[in-house]
Every structure is written in structure tokens, then in C-alpha cells.
Structure 1
Amino acid sequence: MLDRITAFFQRIGQAVGRGIGLLIAWLVWPFMAAHGWYRQRHWMVKGPILALLVILVGLYGYFIWQTQVWSGFNPNFVESYRWSERTVPAGQELPAAAPAAAAAAATPAARQCQSSAIVDASADLIDMNVNQNAWISSMLLYRLGLFGIDWDHTPFLDNKASFQRGVHQAVRRTSAELVDTLGRVRGTSGINSNLQDARGNLQFDEFSWYFGLDPFGFKTPSPAYYRTAIEKLRAFNADLTSCNATFDTRADNLIQFVDRIANDLGGTAAILRERSENNSAGWFDTRADDRFWFAYGQLYGYYAVLSGAGADFSQVIRERNLGPLWSETLTRFRSALRVQPAIVSNGSEDGLIMPSHLAVMGFHTLMVRSNLVEVRSVLDR
């Protein structure tokens, strides 16, 4: 009996070995056939093919490097701004510094106003996306996909692109609010041209490369537009510092700003919930990672923007006794940003081996949204 059992398992092992051998042969055969064909060609044929392969390997090496190295990524980067030390809301005139000598008093100093922390955060987020890193979504090899399959539908090399698009969503939403409400007086004054240009550039297609088919012809790539938006945002802040621009820090503007962000996060939470409830393939869900990292990037961006809003609207927050609730909201953001799984899993919510990271991120997103709704409620009283 023992001999029969041993022989049975030996046959199973041999069958598995043959199967693996056939699979490897099937995978290697095209390369072996191409090698045989290439070896018989003339050098005038070999040369261009070899050059093409070298270029392709170089491009893929650069592409893989850019997708795996995240420069400037730091969920705690807002602490470096030291916004808590600001005492004047955005757009209001700064108190004049005491003159160093009596002679200095004879020459009136130029007026200076407080710059906007929201604008600073937005510009720096864009800078991280397109200057400190390559904008992955418009790179040629990302556009081509994996053998024609969209990278977002694979478990490979798409996390950084999704994160960047999430950050960009936060900045794009913020730029719209800057144009429509925050950069105007009660919505009746003229639209600031720098903010308008920044919004227009940030609305540009995220996937544009140097050449496209629809419409056919040469194009300006997405990162060029976003870099222009950085210049326009910094130009607005320069004008604001010189008291030549407007930043309206009324409570109703903050209400609308917080409300729009809460709605945006609510939509993301719904996407996470839908994917979590209708797909439970664990580590094998190829769309779970891009859903997760888009939400993460969106929270990353809004954490910076709302941290800046706390400085810009410091007077409103102080007058409405919002300090503890505002601090708790930012703490919720930090809790969400601490969730950084090496491999995103979309398993069952009570899974032991394959957990549901989408459910976890959805929970944190809803908790942040709940705090923002409460902030809005207090402001609206």
C-alpha cells in the first residue's frame, strides 16, 4: 500500500514537472525563434533591430524607475510650512515692522499682505507631481499599456499614476473654488486672471503626450500645462503679498469650500464601496490598487489644502470656536495617510489572509467627510 501511495505522488510530481516544462517552453519559444531568425540576417538588418531593442530597453528601464521611485512623497510635509505661527488671515495687511532707526521712519514702508497658504499648498502639490516626478499618465509607454492592455487594468506599475491623479483631482477642485469664490469679493468682483489661467491649465487632459490621434497631430503634453499653472498660482500669491489681489476669507466662502471637498470625497467613498462590495478577489483584483491609490492621493492633496485653509481662515475658525474640530479633522486625514500597504488587497472585510484595504480606505474617507460635514454645520449656525 505504501509503495502505491509513493508511486501516486511520484506520478503527480512528474506531471506537474512536465506541465511547468511545457509552460516555460511555450514562453521561451518565441524568443528562441526570433534569435534564430536574427542570427541568420545581414548586419544591415541586425543593426537597426539591435538599436531599436536598446532604445526599447532604455525606455522601459526609465519608465519602471519613474513608476517605482516617489520623489517628494511625505504625508507630513505640511508641518514644514509652520502655518500655525501665522497670525493674520490671507489677504489682510500685515502689521508694519518697527523701524530700525529714526531715519527709516521718514520713508514709509510698502504695504504687505498675507499670502494664501491654500495657494502655496496647491502650487507645491503640482510641483511634486510634475517637477519632482515624471507625470506618469502621459508617458508614452503608459499610454501604450502592457501589450495593449491599459496599465490600470493590470496589477503592475500603475500605483504612482493613480496617486498623482488623486492629488491632481484635489488641486483641480481647489483651483475652481479659488476662481469662483475665494479670489473674489462676494463673487461680484472681476475674476483674477492668474487664477483663471491656473484653473484652465489644470483642467487639461491628464493623458496628453507630444503626439495624439484624436485630434491627429502634435500636442503640448499635460505636464507643460500644469507647470504653467504653478507659475500662475505663484504669481497670484505674489500679487496678494503686494496687496494687489483679493482673497475673501468670509465664513460663507469657507462653508462652500468645505462643502465642495466633502462632496468630492463622498464620490470617492462611493467608488471604493462599490469595488469592495462587488469584487472580492483579494490580491488578484487588478483594479483595487488604482482605486486605493487614487483615494490616497486625493486625501493627500486635500490634507495639504485644508491645512492651508486653517491658516487662511484662522480668524473665522477662531471666532466660531472651530479650533478643536478643525484639528480633529486634520488628525483624521493623518490617520488615513498612515495606511500604506505593500500590496493592495480587495478581499472580504473579515478576511484573515487577504484583507480589504478598499474597505479600510473607504472608512477613513467617510470619517474625514463626516468631520467636514460637521465643520460645515458649525459654520452655518
Structure 2
Amino acid sequence: MIRFFNVMKKNTKDISPFKEALHDHQLHTSPTLSPKDKHLLKTIQDKTQLLNKNNIMRTKAYLDYYQKHPEIQWSLLAHMVSRNAGWNMTDLKGEFLPKLLSPKEQNDFFHMLERGNWLIFQDAFPQLLLYEESKRKQKSLFYLLPYFGVSVFMKAMWEHFWKEPNQELLSIALIINEQHYIEDRVIQNPTYQQSVLDILEFQLQDVLSMNQMLFPCEENNEIKLVGATVHHFASLYKRIEFGKSLYTLLFSDKLPFISKWAKNKVHTGSRQDYWSNVFQDKKEAVPGVSYPPRFKNCSISYNYPRFYSPQLSHVWKKVHHTSPQIGDWYHDEAVVDLLNMKGIPFTGEIKPQYCETLERLDLIVSTKNLIFPKR
């Protein structure tokens, strides 16, 4: 039976107490730091930097954190979304995209994905670690959040959560925060606008449908796929809508099966992690040999090589990031109303669409770039 998921499965939340708390926080100044505060700040900064070296380490850190603090549901969502980011990164060196995109386009697209992945972690993970320390000491330490450059919006939300622990409200606030945080720093950044989004958005989304978010499930000793397709990636509000809907799908009756798969399967960046019958992290195709379309009915035709999907560490080097631009994205109280904005309803059924995407890619590459002439 087809089931539709919608983030507004509960009644509209009363966010007026949070609005009042947020207004109060805007008026407060940061306190003077004690030596213990300074030591804690340094400890959290060092740990965040250590774990923020690449997509593989970030993705694992989110899952490790969720397993210790399952009430912070956003951390599992971040883990699954970060897995998808890693798969998108390795696609750029995999079976299809190197034959459709120039080396410069591949590199530019990777750096945009990596920058967004890095930025979200360096903003969000100190928040998670400060909550962990607050739990350990059994007192709120969120007055330290401004010293990590965290928005006043999230400072007020963490204080609110500490008093009234609403897991869904906190998760949605973190979705709103992360998407606003990368809006100016990545999506509206002129460098990425010119080198990536303007050039690739039509190609990757409208032609190839390379915009699917996949959540593998381990159910009855079988790996299944659920997920959704994001449209209008450049729209801030569409991304927030989509994030809310993914959250609802993840924390539905699918949660035990998704989390079981995530815990049992180490993230490598290769799509072999969830579909080894179709993808292989080593090249099986014979160099110089042209193959006819080999993917049909969601499987590789008999006796043909599987699609190449490398491990991330084998194809991309570590990136040295510059410090993020300073500034709080929160300026308009209307943002608070996004906590009650509806998500996008969808079934969670993604495998037919995903198989159609792979068939299309296979056909395009096999017919020697009829849609994408070589540059």
C-alpha cells in the first residue's frame, strides 16, 4: 500500500514561547568567559576540527553522536544526508559523470558539495557537543554558543529545548538553521553560482534527475530504498520543505530499518555500500571497450560489468577550507514561522525513479554523449 508522508502529521506547534525567548536572547550580551569556559571552547573547537576533515569522518561523527544521544534526532538525519553527499561526490569520478562533465566542472561541483558539507558540520557539531557537555554537567551551557559563531536563533532554541525537550521542534529548527547558514556562504556565493549552479542545475536535475535522496533500509535481510527527489535546489524554502519531509520519512515506521542499515554499513562514499549487485568500487569494465546499455529492470544485464562507484578516499584529496564568513543569518522574525511550514508530501517510494535515472545515464553514455557534446 502506498503511504504518503507529510511533515505536518501533528497539530501546528505553539511557538509563541520560543518567539518570546528569541526576542530576549537578541537583547542579551555574551558573558565574560571563565578559564573553564575557555578550556571547553578550545576542546570543542579542536574536536570539531579533527572530525571535519572529510565527508567520511563527518558522516561517521553524526551517527556516533546519535547513538549516544538519540533524542537529538537531527544527527541521524544529518548522517543520512551526509552519506548522500558522499555518493554525489564519488559520482563525479564514477561510471557516468566523467564522460558527461569536463574535469573543471567535476572539480567545481565537488568543491561546492564539500564546502556545504564542511560548513554545516563546523556550525552544527559544536552545538551538539555543547549539548553533550550540558547533559554531563546537568546545567545549560548554551550561553557559549555565540563564541562558535552560532546564530541567536539556535541559541534560543537550545535554551528552549533544555526546558521543554521537543525533539521534532529542535530537529526542524536545525534544518532551518543549516539551510540559512549555507544560503549566502554557498548557494548565493557568486563563485558557485557561476561555476556550478548556473551550468549544472539544468543538466543534473532536469536532464539526468541527479537529485534523489536515498535512505537504504535493511529489512528481512534485504536492502531496500526509500527517499525522495528534490526540485529547485537553489530555493532556500524548497530545501527547508524537503528537509522537513526527509525528517518525517526517517522518523516514521521506517526508522528501525534505516538505522539498522546505517549502523551495520560503514560509509565509504561508494554506492556499492547499498547496492553491490549494481555498483563496484573497483573498475570491472575492460578499458577501451564500449558496452551497449546494460541496466534494465533495475539490474545489470547478465555477464556485463557492474557500474564503477569508487570510495571517496580513492578519488578526492583532502580540502583545506578557508574560515567561513562571519555573521548571523537571523534578521527577520518571520523565519520563526517556518517551524510550522508544511513539508512536501511524498510516498517514500524512490527505487523506480532511481532505476529510471540509472537507465537514462547508461543510455546517454552508451550513445556517446548525444545530449552532452564533448567540450
Length-normalised TM-score, structure 2: 0.26
Structure number with the higher strand fraction is: 2
Length-normalised TM-score, structure 1: 0.26
Q: Which protein has greater RCO, CA pairs closer than 8 Å, 6+ apart?
A: 2
Over alpha carbons, which structure has the higher Rg?
Answer: 1
Structure number with the higher helix fraction is: 1
